[in-house]
Amino acid sequence: MKQLTEDWEFNVLGVYNYLKPGRFDAVLKFIRENHTKIQGDIVEAGVYRGSSLIAIGMLLKELGSFKKVYGFDSFSGFPPIHNELDDFLQFEKMYKNKSISEMHIKSVRKNREYWAALHSGGGIPLADKISTSGLFNETSKEFVKNKLDIVGLDNVVLIDGPFIETMTAAKYPIKIMAAILDCDLYQSYKDAFNYIWPNLEVGGMMHLDEYYSLKFPGARLATDEFIRDKKAKLEMCKQKKGDFERWHLYKY
């Protein structure tokens, strides 16, 4: 593996710098502390350009672990299926139902105002328009594979295609230690949960990137719906004042 040491190296390659504090601290700490205690590999649902995926692969190599990282993505942008639970107005319903806080809805409304001010036409943005990453179609599987070749990783497996088709335990990890859900939409979260949860080892962790989101209400709706009858602990990371909320799900 090519060892990256300077911050600019991580920036140029578009890889999350796991050597310094950041938004994935809790996930990386969990892997460091449990890679010899909990069986199973790591799964990421929603790869985009491979920033966190590659960082985890590098960390595992550094730890001398034989675990692999499996990255699931369509590598072709959002699926062409619209679900009303991904509509921006769902946040208002969630606030009325007291499933999100007043601070959360205020931030959502402010984000919507900024979006409208920057885009002609204004109005209420759809899920595929509000993301700062656009439609996620400015990347490809080959682009991520090229990064893997540059850093010399052989412990990362890329699986392209719709989650409903690719996430099958018969073909991919049947034991999962940790997972990152960074797939934005209601149905994508549901499909990921249906595959990951039954294969997640007791004590395993899931990082829910959009549970606290100002853009994608469907992720939280899918999570709350799925864990209603599960032996699960939903926990917000400790944070400094002004930090963006980070949420994790543990299986017990």
User: What pTM was estimated for this model as a whole?
Assistant: 0.92
Work out the percent of the chain whose per-residue pLDDT is above 90.
81
Q: Is residue 231 within 8 Å of residue 251, measured between CB atoms?
A: yes
Please state which architecture CATH assigns to domain 7-77+136-251: 3-Layer(aba) Sandwich (3.40)
Under the banding of pLDDT at 50, 70 and 90, the label for residue 196 is very high
- Reported as a pLDDT band with limits 50, 70 and 90, residue 241 is confident
Q: Mean per-residue pLDDT for 154-172?
A: 91
Please give the C-alpha separations between residue 114 and each of 69, 88, 109, 110, 124, in angstroms, as whole numbers.
36, 14, 9, 6, 11
Beta-carbon contacts of 192 under 8 Å, excluding residues fewer than 6 positions away, are: 45, 72, 163, 167, 179, 181, 183
3-state secondary structure of 206: strand
Give the C-alpha separation, 34 to 233, whole Å: 18
Query: Phi and psi (nearest 5°) for 248?
Result: -130, 155
- Helix (H) or strand (E) segment spanning residue 130: helix 127-130
Instruction: For residue 42, list its beta bridge partners.
Output: 69, 178
pLDDT for res 109: 95
> Domain residues of the chain, as ranges?
7-77+136-251
Residue 20 and residue 240: Cα distance in Å, rounded?
16
Alpha-carbon span 152 to 154, nearest angstrom? 7
